[in-house]
Chain A
Amino acid sequence: MSTLTLSATTFDEEIAASSHAVVVDFWAEWCAPCKMIAPILDEIAAEHPDSLRIAKLNVDDHPDIGRRYQVMSIPSLLVFKDGELVKRLVGAKGKSQLLTELAEFV
């Protein structure tokens, strides 16, 4: 499944509507580690279309959402299940590490 781009107006609706676990990548243009994990998240999204939804939220464009979830470090990956925040991963990680952390949702 393709990666979803979230905004402040679509965030709540998309998170609540998804039947899959949603992994939201809080990122920004100026964050080099964010750019390094972006292609890895795309790969993971492509490999697990039936269980995971990968979404992106630009913290520059939508600072309120970042504040709501106390995101103070990027990249941060917040995992939502049935609309609830269930896991938070801070910092860039390699693909194998990310898959280990996300194994419970796959």
Chain B
Amino acid sequence: MTPTRNVVIVGSGPAGLTAAIYTARANLAPLVLEGEPSSTTDQPGGQLMLTTEVENYPGFVDGIMGPELMGAFRSQAARFGAELVVDKVSRVDFSSRPFGLWVGDPSADEPTHRASAVIVSTGARSIMLGLDAESRLMGRGLSTCATCDGFFHQGSDIAVVGGGDSALEEALFLSKFADTVTVIHRRDELRASKIMQERAFKNEKIVFRWNTVVEDLIGEQALEGARLRDVLTGEISQLDITGMFVAIGHRPNTDLFRGVLDIDDNGYLLTQGTGTATNIAGVFAAGDVADHTYRQAVTAAGSGCKAAIDAERWLEAQGDAPENIAETPTEW
């Protein structure tokens, strides 16, 4: 039978890796199932792997690159003995303890890993527009990753869809390459923070199309334009662009847990009170997968720490903790 680990952590963004640092320091020898590479933010290292400069993570006076920050988190977890594996979980069985987790073939009889406690930190992924043309034009002008693909739009006219911080961050980054960046937003005001708004309004290459949604994308082999609809007047217009970046929000990665863990109306995992416990004792949730409200790297890291401490205490209370457990001290 597959040996039982103390803790298995699913996901390796700021929440998962912080949980790994804490549980590793508590001598719980955690296993982190990091996920698999992808270009849709559902990947090892999480959403920060697709960003550039992170300016609001405390401790980095001059900012730090997202991938570099996550590399440091990972090294720190490894230093304390966390085992990190680039694998994507395909199925979970939380119906009895120890819990079962599968990678690869989900129909295999025996789970790949067993765990006394599980910390779910699978994060969230970008939402796409839901147009048929998207699959045809993805990678042919349509992109989900400005830092990956901005370079290909030097001297072009392009668009960013969305009105939040990530949309403006992408627009500002892309303005280094493109001639014009049109920000298409369905409302007449931005959700983005004041500091990002000020930067975007000041940038001469960035123009705004308010109260506007994308109806369709034009182009067979490559993106040539977008058909836009003004939501107030219903007027249809065409914008000639060769690049489009979509930043209209996120969807939590909770498909694995549907019908198993309690989920709110928006699809996010529900946790109890101020802690990280889910409806299944021994399963904890941390980071964006359980946070519809804040969704910051630092709040994700904070909740990863809470999940680690919750898991330590739960293992102790169950009598499932190893003898050498070194619980994180919380009284000073």
Contact = CB atoms under 8 A, between A and B. Distances in A.
A33 interface: yes
Contact of A73 (B50, B66, B152): B152
Interface residues of B, dominant DSSP: loop
Contact of B141 (A60, A72, A95): A72
B151 to A, nearest CB: 7
A71 to B, nearest CB: 7
Contacts of B86: 94
Contact of B149 (A32, A73, A95, A97): A73
Interface in A72-106: 72-76, 88, 90-97
A97 B43 CA distance: 13
Given A31-B148, A66-B152, A91 B39 contact: yes
Contact of A28 (B49, B67, B143, B151): B151
B140 interface: yes
Interface in A1-49: 28, 30-37, 40
Given A72-B222, A91-B39, A94-B88, A33 B138 contact: no
Interface residues of A, number: 29
A95 B50 contact: no
Contacts of B145: 33, 73
30 contacts: A28-B151, A30-B151, A32-B45, A32-B49, A33-B39, A33-B43, A33-B50, A33-B148, A35-B67, A37-B37, A59-B151, A70-B140, A72-B139, A72-B140, A72-B141, A72-B152, A72-B153, A73-B139, A73-B145, A73-B149, A74-B148, A75-B148, A88-B139, A90-B39, A90-B138, A90-B139, A91-B138, A91-B139, A93-B37, A93-B38
Interface of A: 28, 30-37, 40, 59-60, 66, 70-76, 88, 90-97
Interface of B: 36-40, 43-45, 49-50, 66-67, 86, 88, 104, 138-141, 143, 145, 147-149, 151-153, 221-222, 243
